Amino acid sequence: MNKCHPDKPFFAKAMCQSCYNANYRAKNKTYLDALTSKWHKDNKDQANANKIAWALKNPDKVKETKRAYVQRNLSSYRAMCAKRHASKMQRTPIWADLKAIKEFYTNCPAGMEVDHIVPMQGKNVSGLHVLSNLQYLTKSENAKKHNKFGE
């Protein structure tokens, strides 16, 4: 009898490759975590590219992970939303055409998102919530842009 797969014949290896790997990872978790962390620090661009590529291939898993995160951190998520709403209110001048802005959001094409060209909460610059600062981007382009301007 095989230890990890009882249906295998007795002359098969004591442990299959996947079980051996799982056993090795369990025994050497700290060491492997340190190696992985070092690689991510040394290869930030490649790590980010890998992460983005995976997210584009697995949108359902990303969506489910985000949903689970929000459920676990509901109060933090609500605080973040309130902060963004307050920021938007502060950055909407009295002369802004709110009807035109609402229409811009309403007419957003399928598969696109409304993005602020100059981010409202950027590190170096903060834009206004006005029609001339809005554009349509795909979800992936908007995610890559994040809160950056001119990069």
For position 65, what pLDDT does the model report? 95
Of 131, 128, 130, give the one whose Cα is nearest residue 120.
128
What pLDDT sits at residue 1?
43
Residue 107, classified by CB atoms within 10 Å of its CB into exposed (0-12), middle (13-18) or buried (19+), is: exposed
pTM: 0.53
- Averaged pLDDT of the chain: 87
Residue 110 has pLDDT above 80, yes or no: yes
Q: What percent of the chain has pLDDT over 70?
A: 89
Q: What are 6's two structure tokens?
A: 């009882």
pLDDT, tens digit (0-9, with 9 covering 90-100), for 9-54? 656 666 777 888 888 999 999 999 999 999 999 999 999 999 999 9
What confidence category does residue 142 fall into, taking pLDDT thresholds of 50, 70 and 90? Answer: confident
Give the pLDDT mean for 82-88.
Answer: 89
Sequence length of the chain is 151
**In degrees rounded to 5, what are phi and psi of residue 71?**
-65, -40
HSE-CB for 127 with a 13 A CA cutoff: 18
